[in-house]
Amino acid sequence: MLIIQISLNLSTLKNVSFVILLLQMCLVFGQKKVIVIDPGHGGIDSGAIGINHLLEKDVVLGIAKEILRLNKTVFEDSFDIYLTRYTDTLISLSDRSRLAKSLKADVFVSLYCNHSNNPDVRGIEVYVANSKSEYSKESIWLSFQFQVTFNANLGFESRGLKFSNFQVLRQTIDSCASVLLELGFLSNLDEAAYLKKSSNINRISFSILTVIHTLILKQQI
C-beta neighbour count of 157 within 10 angstroms: 13
DSSP assignment, residue 118?
S
DSSP readout, 30-91? --SEEEEEEE--BTTB---B-TTS-BHHHHHHHHHHHHHHHHHHTSTT-EEEEES-SSS---
Residue 28, beta-bridge partner list: 3
Which pLDDT value is given to residue 15?
53
CA–CA separation, 78 and 72 (whole Å): 8
**Exposure string (b/e) for 97-127, b if CB count within 10 Å is 16 or more?**
bbbbbbbebbbbbbbbbbbeeeeeebbbbbb
Which pLDDT value is given to residue 45?
98
27: pLDDT strictly greater than 90: no
What distance lies between CA 25 and its chain's CA centroid? 25
102: pLDDT strictly greater than 70: yes
Mean pLDDT on 96-120: 97
| pLDDT per residue as tens digits for the range 124-176 | 999 999 999 999 999 999 999 999 999 999 999 999 899 999 999 999 999 99
| pLDDT per residue as tens digits for the range 3-25 | 333 334 444 344 555 455 455 44
Which pLDDT value is given to residue 221?
85
